[in-house]
């Protein structure tokens, strides 16, 4: 029963991060559009948060559990999985504009593509709960929750907000109702609670693989930042002065500034 309750808690944490994606659609309740400048800043913010969470959360904790070689192997595996998944789905890139008119078969494909992008974040949440119930955590709803788990849940949630905004922009252009934009934003992160539960169950059963799990999540997330978040931001920033690099840098610095203090709480 204890294991089931733990799995439920981890699923809830992952679901909270998914719900946070819906917050990214809320600005459209008050503004007709969000300019490229602010969108670039938001992508920078997400990048800074992800890298900070990976370095000061996952990698640091991984080094406390294992060796640099184990962390490195895990990071390489995370990159390989993302690259391999992208190759499998390279002809199935989905634009959020297609969400509204998708049939069931298309929705399954969309969910597959979204899994590639958001599953690693769910894994990061799941492995961060590896010490759930052990001494040294903080009490939440009757559970002793690791501080790292709180840190990662907050980090992924904040990161998901600008992702929700990016998803909502083309939906807004289609005239999709505001509350449905919120739903589609949340839908895009639904693989996260699933990934969190799978990762948590795995590292609890095979704890010797925990350092690899930390490295895996960190490698996948850093790779996504380098190959997707930053290029997307620079693409949106092309019409801006200096190609939007200043806005991107400002967002990254802000993201790091937000997360680093939390890492040392």
Alpha carbon distances (Å) from 254 to 16, 43, 107, 187: 23, 11, 35, 27
pLDDT in tens, 8-44: 999 999 999 999 999 988 988 887 777 788 888 888 9
Which of 15, 38, 17, 40 has the alpha carbon at shortest distance from 28? 38
Residue 106 above 70 pLDDT? no
Could you tell me how many residues make up the chain?
265
137 in Cβ contact with 213 (< 8 Å): no
97 in Cβ contact with 170 (< 8 Å): yes
| CA 54/CA 40 separation, integer angstroms | 21
Which tokens sit at 190?
A: 């639904």
Mean pLDDT, the chain, whole residue set? 84
Q: Mean pLDDT throughout 212-230? A: 90
Name the least confident of 77-91, 139-153, 197-211. 77-91
| CA 10/CA 195 separation, integer angstroms | 10
Give me the residue label for tokens 């997400």. Answer: 46
Residue 1: which pLDDT band, with cuts at 50, 70 and 90? very low
Residues 6+ apart with CB under 8 A from 242: none
State the Cα torsion 16-249-232-152 to the nearest 10°.
Answer: -20
pLDDT of residue 199: 92
pLDDT in tens, 54-91: 988 899 889 988 899 999 999 999 999 888 877 766 66
Prediction pTM value: 0.83
């Amino acid at each position: 029963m204890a294991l089931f309750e733990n799995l439920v808690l981890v699923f809830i944490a992952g679901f909270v991060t998914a719900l946070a994606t819906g917050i990214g659609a809320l600005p459209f309740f008050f503004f007709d559009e969000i300019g490229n400048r602010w969108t670039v800043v938001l992508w920078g913010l997400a990048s800074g948060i992800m890298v900070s969470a990976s370095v000061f959360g996952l990698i640091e904790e991984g080094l406390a559990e294992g060796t640099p070689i184990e962390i490195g192997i895990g990071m390489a595996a995370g990159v390989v999985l993302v690259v391999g998944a992208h190759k499998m789905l390279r002809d199935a890139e989905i634009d959020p504009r297609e969400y509204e008119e998708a049939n069931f078969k298309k929705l399954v494909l969309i969910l597959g593509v979204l899994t590639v992008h958001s599953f690693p974040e769910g894994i990061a949440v799941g492995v961060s709960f590896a010490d759930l119930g052990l001494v040294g955590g903080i009490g939440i709803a009757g559970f002793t929750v690791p501080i790292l788990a709180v840190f990662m849940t907050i980090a992924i949630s904040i990161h998901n907000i600008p992702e929700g905004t990016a998803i909502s922009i083309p939906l807004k252009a289609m005239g999709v109702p505001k509350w449905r934009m919120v739903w589609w934003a949340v839908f895009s992160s639904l693989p996260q609670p699933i990934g969190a539960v799978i990762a948590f169950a795995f590292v609890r059963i095979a704890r010797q693989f925990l350092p690899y799990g930390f490295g895996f999540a960190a490698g996948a997330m850093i790779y996504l930042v380098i190959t997707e978040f930053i290029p997307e931001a620079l693409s949106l920033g092309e019409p801006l002065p200096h190609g939007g690099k200043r806005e991107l840098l400002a967002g990254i610095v802000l993201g790091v500034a937000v997360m680093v203090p939390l890492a040392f709480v």
